[in-house]
Structure 1
């Protein structure tokens, strides 16, 4: 699972194909091609544990002779690796012993044996002294976590990496970790933190093992749009030279970003529709598809209404290139959910904004916190009286 610079990790490419293979909206003819590619990848790396799992889930067909061949090859390779470890421990130095254990760890990773890979990585870590080498082992663990979407493993590994950096650690590995953590935050619906971490890494990106730079820019723009205010979006994203160099290669993304900033709402909705397929078929964003669509619409509706004390529903519908009925239904949902600060005058066909100012919001927050504190004090006094 080791990714060279500029090359995406082969197992993460396989993970995406497996995701698409089980996606209900992928066409059957496309799934035939994906199934062949998955089978070829599994067979070439002798991924017997994954092969058995996929066959049990009816994703690919089981061929017992192929499975037996895989197991035989795995057994032979493990014997060779164990011999190298024994030889290194008996005749060579500590660094050679570590390298022999690392080779066994990478082999278990290659064949997709998660439990044995994690166990062997711990053994390798016990033979490792340098902080940088320990960090590399954490990155291997993170790649396993993202292959299986094991968020508990990913979270613990990120915390472990941060603790290691307190002992030292180079600049490049720290930047790599930011991208890994950003992907974890995005995958767990913490878009604000994901955007911040991605933007911090935009000019120092080297994490090609996770995804290509184009994909990184795609994630950065999507998370930034629902996380940053308009001024920050302009400074950090719209005018960012690193983003400008590649954004045109990603269908609809440039129009999506620029039409939002330029208040071209018809163009925005058109580009938004073009991006939905990319989001839906993205392995990390798919679970948050509906949530993201709501958040984007909240941002764009809020931006439109920010300019008005009141505006007709008809004018807003024309601005977005949709029907009055659609806007009426959309806004009703967002208003009832507390996402938009306005009210609909159905008789007059007018939207009236009622945004609370900063002082009023602070006052309301202070009242709530004060009530909460008084309740806690009353409960505490009853306990003390008892």
Structure 2
């Protein structure tokens, strides 16, 4: 991610189907808060270049305070002067079909709101948006767009969970209540709600929303398509049982095309787990961990996510066996025997794995499937139906053979 951020284009003009590049500055700023990148000259230079290129005076002030930069008063005044000039120009720009800026259907205030967002002026952008939402004669479509803008402001400025939730609730109220919003508004809401769901670690909800929105994604003002694909894979891998993953990721037209063409790493992440290539899976998972650490939206959840995905892999390999040697597990995952033993013991002690370690035999002995693990909706339930079916048939054959032997003895 850091290499990608270093090569972002400076030009941040907004066009249809293109995500505003200023949104990426939030991720650069976040990376600079991490210990390993705190003094990274390239990232610092890139962030400052983006701020200057887009005259982001308010954001420059925020960055200096948050990152401890030396505040350049001359630079700030120059940027602020450019901001004031642009706002004055917007004030003078009148659509020929409109009378004045007070007209509720005028696009002038929306242009102002977009500009305030683009320069990182959270206070003024929020103030303008909220004031317009209080006006009763604003068309519902413009109200919805304004609420989405409030979400983006909260998302850009540190992933403010409370403000994001407030925006989602308001957008849902506008779209679902009364006459409701049009199809486009409902479609956009899924993308925004998916981002919000990731922010609160609701991977199941996020996965369903992203899978639904990918074929018709149009919320480029929020995130680019590759980011949505990434979030779809991340959330689907932890949310869906194994037998649904292939249908969701590889038999899903748009998703399959994206994974096969532009997202080879994400495809490898899925395929390695699905096909039981566990050593490759851990390599991909390590890459996912690095990416999540550098993502302000996912950073708070990376430890939980990585732990759950490792647990998922352990469950998958153990499901088909009553006993499995630690040496075999270690070889399969490409790690040491001691690492596997420690991991399995920790999960077993916490009740997350129904197994125990036979230290004498150097093996993991699986227990009978507990009732709680079969409960529908249990967070840790990841039983692969095909494997469970095969195991049941095998045990059934053994039981039938024993019954036949018993019958012969009784006949005798």
TM-score range, shorter chain: 0.7 to 0.9
For the residues of structure 2 that align with 1:155 and 1:170, how far apart are their CA atoms? 21
From 26, 45, 50, give the equivalent of 1:41: 50
From 138, 163, 172, give the equivalent of 1:162: 172
Structure 1 runs, 4 residues or longer, greater than 6 Å off: 359-362
User: Is the aligned partner of 1:220 residue 2:232?
Assistant: yes
Is the partner of 1:209 in helix, strand or coil?
Answer: coil
User: Is the aligned partner of 1:118 residue 2:130?
Assistant: no
What residue in structure 2 maps to residue 201 of structure 1? 213
What residue in structure 1 maps to residue 200 of structure 2? 188
Unaligned runs of 5+ in 1: 366-386
Kindly tell me: are residues 321 and 109 of structure 1, through their superposed partners in 2, closer, same or farther at Cα, counting changes over 3 Å?
closer
Encode CA deviations 1:93-123: one digit per residue, 9 max, x unaligned. 8646743333333333233221221111122
On the 8 A contact 1:252/1:272 being kept in 2, the answer is no
For the residues of structure 2 that align with 1:93 and 1:38, how far apart are their CA atoms? 34
On the 8 A contact 1:310/1:350 being kept in 2, the answer is yes
Encode CA deviations 1:44-80: one digit per residue, 9 max, x unaligned. 3332222223223454432211222233344445556
From 259, 273, 284, give the equivalent of 2:272: 259
Could you tell which deviates more after superposition, 136-145 or 99-108?
A: 99-108
For the residues of structure 2 that align with 1:229 and 1:257, how far apart are their CA atoms? 12
For residue 233 of structure 1, report the CA deviation from its aligned partner: 1.0
What residue in structure 2 maps to residue 379 of structure 1? none
Kindly tell me: are residues 128 and 23 of structure 1, through their superposed partners in 2, closer, same or farther at Cα, counting changes over 3 Å?
farther
Could you tell which deviates more after superposition, 37-46 or 140-149?
A: 37-46
Unaligned runs of 5+ in 2: 1-11, 379-412
On the 8 A contact 1:313/1:328 being kept in 2, the answer is yes
What residue in structure 2 maps to residue 9 of structure 1? 20
Aligned pair count reads 359
Cα RMSD for the two superposed structures: 2.8
For the residues of structure 2 that align with 1:95 and 1:46, how far apart are their CA atoms? 29
For residue 12 of structure 1, report the CA deviation from its aligned partner: 1.2
For residue 206 of structure 1, report the CA deviation from its aligned partner: 1.5
What residue in structure 2 maps to residue 32 of structure 1? 41
Kindly tell me: are residues 339 and 32 of structure 1, through their superposed partners in 2, closer, same or farther at Cα, counting changes over 3 Å?
same
From 315, 319, 322, give the equivalent of 1:306: 319
Kindly tell me: are residues 52 and 329 of structure 1, through their superposed partners in 2, closer, same or farther at Cα, counting changes over 3 Å?
same
Encode CA deviations 1:233-267: one digit per residue, 9 max, x unaligned. 12112322222212243353222101211122222
What residue in structure 2 maps to residue 383 of structure 1? none
Encode CA deviations 1:150-184: one digit per residue, 9 max, x unaligned. 11111011111111112321212211111111111
Structure 2 length-normalised TM: 0.79
User: Is the aligned partner of 1:174 residue 2:169?
Assistant: no
Kindly tell me: are residues 224 and 12 of structure 1, through their superposed partners in 2, closer, same or farther at Cα, counting changes over 3 Å?
same
What residue in structure 1 maps to residue 156 of structure 2? 147
Could you tell which deviates more after superposition, 138-147 or 45-54?
A: 45-54
Higher share in helix: 1
On the 8 A contact 1:230/1:261 being kept in 2, the answer is yes
Encode CA deviations 1:163-218: one digit per residue, 9 max, x unaligned. 11123212122111111111111122111111111111121112222322222211
Is the partner of 1:344 in helix, strand or coil?
Answer: strand
Could you tell which deviates more after superposition, 265-274 or 1-10?
A: 1-10
On the 8 A contact 1:280/1:286 being kept in 2, the answer is yes
